[in-house]
Chain A
Amino acid sequence: MVVKQVAVVDVIKKTFCVVFMSLGFVTYAQQDSTQVYKKKVLESIEIDVLLGYYEQEGTHAAVTGGIGNEDLQNIAPSVVVRIPLNEDDVLTADVGISAYTSASSSNGNPFNTAASSGRGAVQSGNGDGSGGGNGPKGTPWVASSGASRKDVLTSINFSYVHATEDRNRYWSSNIGTSFEYDYQSFGFGGGFTQLWNEKNTELSLKAQVYLDQWKPIIPTEIHQFDLYGVNFLTNNQSYFSGVSVIDKDGNSVASYLPSNFSPIDDVNRNSYAVSLGFSQILSKRAQFSVFLDLVKQQGWLANPLQRVYFADQANFYIGNRSSIVNYQDSSNTDVFHLADDIERLPRNRFKYPFGMRLNYYVNEYLVVRSYVRRYADDWGVNSNTFQLELPIKFNLNWKLTPSYRYYDQTAADYFAPFDQHLSTQDFYTSDYDLSAFSSHQIGGALVYTDVLSKFNLWKLSLKSISLRFQNYQRSDGLSAFSIATGFSFVLD
């Protein structure tokens, strides 16, 4: 009996030992798995393919001094690839091009248009100022076939984000470049984000530097003056040799001289930005963020291709004198007003926009997204922006997001409409992007989410397809339309 009891106790002891040892192993195994498994910041490679199209119409072309055809078409494909390098680090590559054709830009040289007779005809102009026959013609209302009518901007950007183990801190850096025919840019920056309060509160600080450079293209008549000096109208090498320049009454004259022009001495344009962001969860359904940017820009902040006309100087034209009276009307197809100077703006600009987002989850079908911004700068521009988006989910796959955006701004101190500046001013622009206006934008987005990743392309599983469309109306008459489509994939 005693032997049996000892044997039972022995068995119990052994059982406990085994159980405890097992528990130990289990505990060890759990600890080990906890150490091995860490949720990645990004689980797998994500690829976004985007294609945007934009077109606009307007009658305030800045290249021709604030009047003229503003038609523009732009197409911009881009690819964004996000690569998880390990559990904590993500590298993003963003490559895109943006190709445009612009009636306004084309009129950097308006004389080689379909409406004009080109270089050969310039040489054989009849010189009577009538503009009839073979004389060169131009107009701000018709697109020219000049080289500046189209351009392609190519941009390449890389960014790197590192998250700490507890995912409460993020470090980021970026570097990128973009280049087009008359402009190139090199940018870099870094940032830091701190989360606390159980990730309910977030503070971020970013700094960004752009070191940009113009390769200035200036209007043809100014360029010829720059090349050949005061005798540019008679110099045999000049584009205008043998061409009749006429005054407002249609008389041939030789007194046209854009003497306010001085060459661009510094082609650099540098921008330095510091951005502060703060976001906070307000409840299980609401969160908001505020942003403050402080931006300092230095260098050639004007666009060298944009003309300015002075009210206190005589007007000179090339083309059909009988069309001068209709110069500001789109019926003018054959006379062009020669510029007094190019746009000139201060070498410094300080911007301080302040924005706020507030999002509210109403229910499983509806989210309210709102954004407001107050902007001011030391050029006298003050603006307000308000945007509302209402993502409506029909089911797990389909979502429609109607949106509305209101914007207004006051004019920059240096803005005046066509032919209203004075030659005694230091700075001047007739670019209506710097005028006082308000705008309304109405549009929406249709998104299909492939929840089960049914569609596959090679090793890519489709995440979502989106289609955005926006109609933009500006109070100065500019209207625009944009449509963008995006395909999001995950690499298996």
Chain B
Amino acid sequence: MIKELFTDLKTYKLKKIKTFLIFVLVLVSSTSCVAVKEYNKVFLNDADMALKAPLSERFETTFHIYREAAAGANGGKTGGGCGCN
């Protein structure tokens, strides 16, 4: 069973996922010592610092989903829900 799992992990797709998980693990371990206190988050709490696209960008995201083959990984739509690519 474990051997099969490792065999699968060698495949192209899962390799990428594994790389991502390792990347996240490294990030977590390397940055967990950073702790900005709440009272020091004035700049980080600025609306433009939000780690997501503004609501008004949704129309662009929609036409990108139709006009381009790629979608997802932006915290929003990943595909599906429309007759798009």
Which A positions have Cβ atoms within 8 angstroms of B?
Answer: 48, 50, 52, 54, 56, 74, 76, 78, 80, 98, 153, 176, 178, 180, 182-183, 185, 187, 197-201, 208, 210, 212, 214, 269-271, 273, 275-285, 287-295, 297, 303, 350-355, 357, 359, 361, 367, 369, 371, 373, 375-379, 381, 383, 385, 391, 399, 401, 407, 409, 412, 433-434, 439, 441, 445, 466, 468, 470, 472, 474, 478, 480, 482, 484-486
Contact = CB atoms under 8 A, between A and B. Distances in A.
Given A208-B78, A284-B44, A433 B34 contact: no
Contacts of B32: 197, 201
B31 A273 contact: no
Contact of B31 (A282, A291, A409, A474): A282
B73 A482 contact: no
B51 interface: yes
Contacts of B36: 198, 200, 281, 283-284
Nearest to A488: B55
B69 A434 contact: yes
A381 B81 contact: no
A351 B23 CA distance: 19
Given A201-B28, A383-B70, A285 B44 contact: yes
B56 A369 contact: no
B27 interface: yes
A375 B79 CA distance: 13
24 contacts: A50-B56, A56-B63, A178-B81, A180-B83, A185-B82, A276-B20, A276-B24, A280-B31, A284-B36, A287-B44, A287-B49, A291-B72, A294-B17, A351-B79, A352-B16, A353-B71, A355-B72, A359-B48, A361-B48, A373-B73, A383-B68, A409-B68, A409-B70, A484-B59
Interface of B: 13, 16-17, 20, 23-24, 27-28, 31-32, 34-38, 40-41, 43-44, 46, 48-52, 54-60, 62-64, 66-75, 78-83, 85
A464 to B, nearest CB: 9
B40 A273 contact: no
A367 B49 contact: yes
Contact of B51 (A78, A276, A288, A294): A288
Contacts of B40: 284
B27 A280 contact: yes
A149 to B, nearest CB: 16
A255 to B, nearest CB: 33
Given A282-B31, A468-B56, A484-B56, A353 B72 contact: yes
B69 to A, nearest CB: 4
B83 A303 contact: yes
